[in-house]
Amino acid sequence: MKRILVLFTALLLAPLAMLRADEIILAGGDEVFIVDAAEAAAGKVNKLWSWNAQKADDVPEAARRDFHHMDECKAVERGAKLLVCASGGGCALIERATKRVLWRASSRNAHSLDLLPGDRVVVASSLGGDQVEVFDLKGAATPIFKTPLRSAHGLLWDEARKCLWALGYDELRCYTLADWETAAPSLKLKTTHKLPDDDGHDLRPVPASADLLLTTSNGVHLFDRDQLTFRPHPTLKDLAYVKSVDVHPVTQRIVLSTWGATLRLFSPEDTITFKDARPYKARWMP
């Protein structure tokens, strides 16, 4: 009977044993990589997964220069795939299990991207591009639609509200999808909201909330998508030049990057320091 209980307990705990602690995806330099947050905060920075276009067999030599200065990393499809881009212009959708590049394109000074319905992806082409571009994941590596947005930096598809939020230099815009089932889709501007401070940079959702989290040159703010109002973030409001901030979907813990060798964690507070990396963006793995 005791052996049966031990076996039964082992079977129940087996799935838990396969789970790691919370993972953080990081982009910086020429690399995107994943670390275990608890291990890294304890001083053991072990790269659980990494991707570098300069070493990827399925990225042509001529395209590798586009993937210098990685500046975005987002997990999609429950972490099975990663969207990445670089200020060199390179944009890609990568399968985590195989590191296979499923889609690749170039967008001038790309700073963020997100999946849209209908197998499409939207890219924020920042300074020098100053526009939002839409690509077809199954089509040519050229945009099928583009619309101007000064210093486009942040993008978020809002499935609940069926709209795209786009962050620019001094405004937050909301777009709806138009003619989306055709070969000539477009983004239709619905609303625009003046930022409380200039130089909009990062845009992320606060899980289980109507709030968006966004950063500017002098602070971190919240935007209520239902009330359409801004307010300072209660903890991070006075932090300047934040390159990325992300809230864990379950624990609500915050990870924040100011593009240095050290990441900051909040609730509870801690730090992660890297010896050979300066992460530009840090995201929680779903």
Structure confidence by residue, pLDDT tens digits, 45-96: 999 999 999 999 999 999 999 999 999 999 999 999 999 999 999 999 999 9
pLDDT of residue 194: 98
- Residue 24 predicted with pLDDT over 60: yes
> How does pLDDT run across 218-247, given as a tens digit for each residue?
999 999 999 999 999 999 999 999 999 999
Higher pLDDT, 49 or 7: 49
- Spatial separation of the C-alpha atoms in residues 235 and 220, rounded to whole Å: 9
Q: Which residues contact 172 (CB under 8 A, 6 or more apart)?
A: 165, 166, 192, 193, 195, 200, 203, 212, 214, 223
3-state DSSP assignment of residue 65? helix
pLDDT of residue 96: 98
Q: Which candidate, 24, 85, 33, 66, places its Cα nearest to that of 285?
A: 24
Domain boundaries, the chain: 20-284
Give domain 20-284's CATH architecture. 7 Propeller (2.130)
- Residue 171 predicted with pLDDT over 70: yes
Enter the tokens of residue 178: 């138009």
How buried is 176 (Cβ within 10 angstroms: 0-12 exposed, 13-18 middle, 19+ buried)? middle
User: HSE (CB half, 13 Å, CA atoms) of 157?
Assistant: 17
pLDDT of residue 226: 97
- Residue 2 predicted with pLDDT over 70: no
Give mean pLDDT, residues 100-120.
98
pLDDT of residue 5: 41
Q: What is the chain's mean pLDDT, rounded? A: 93
- Residue 179 predicted with pLDDT over 50: yes
Give mean pLDDT, residues 120-140.
96
- Residue 154 predicted with pLDDT over 80: yes
